[in-house]
Amino acid sequence: MSKTTEMTAGKPYKLILAFAIPMVLGNLFQQLYNMVDTVIVGKFVGVNALAGVGSTGAISFLVVGFALGICSGFSIPVAQEFGAGNYKKMRKYIANSIYLCIITAVTLTFVTVMTTGSVLKLMNTPDEIFNDAYNYIIVIFAGLSATIFYNMLSGILRAVGDSRSPLIFLIVSSVLNIGLDLLFIITFKMGVFGAGLATVISQGISALLCLVYTVKNYDILKFEKDEFRLEKEYIIKLASNGYPMALQFSITAVGSIILQSAVNTLGTQSVAAITAASKIQTVAMGPMESLGIAMATYCGQNKGAGELERIKLGIRQSLVIQMIYCVASCIAVCLLGGVLTTLFIDTKSTDPSSVLRITELSAYYLRLNGLFYPLLGILFILRNSIQGMGYSMLPMLAGVSELVARAFVAVGFVSTIGFTAASLSSPVAWILADTVLILTYVAKLREMKKTMIFSKPVNTV
Say what percent of the chain tops pLDDT 70.
94
In the prediction, which pLDDT does 399 show?
Answer: 81
Res 247: pLDDT:
80
Amino acid of residue 9: A
pLDDT digits (tens, 9 = 90+) for 324-358: 999 999 999 999 888 888 877 766 766 778 788 88
Mean of the pLDDT values across residues 283-302?
88
Alpha carbons 366 and 175: distance in angstroms, whole number: 27
Q: What is the pLDDT of residues 184-239, one digit of tens each?
A: 999 999 989 998 999 899 889 988 988 888 888 888 888 888 898 999 999 999 99
Residue 115 pLDDT greater than 70, yes or no? yes
Q: What percent of the chain has pLDDT over 90?
A: 28
Q: Which of 390, 286, 351 is nearest to 78 (CA)?
A: 390
pLDDT at 336: 87
The residues, ordered by sequence, that sit 6+ positions from 162 with a Cβ below 8 Å of its Cβ are 2, 3, 4, 5
pLDDT tens digits, 414-455: 877 888 888 888 899 899 999 999 999 998 888 877 776 544
> What pLDDT is stored for residue 330 in this prediction?
94
Supply the mean pLDDT for the chain. Answer: 85
pLDDT at 458 > cutoff 60: no
Q: What is the pLDDT of residues 158-186, one digit of tens each?
A: 888 888 888 888 888 888 888 998 999 99
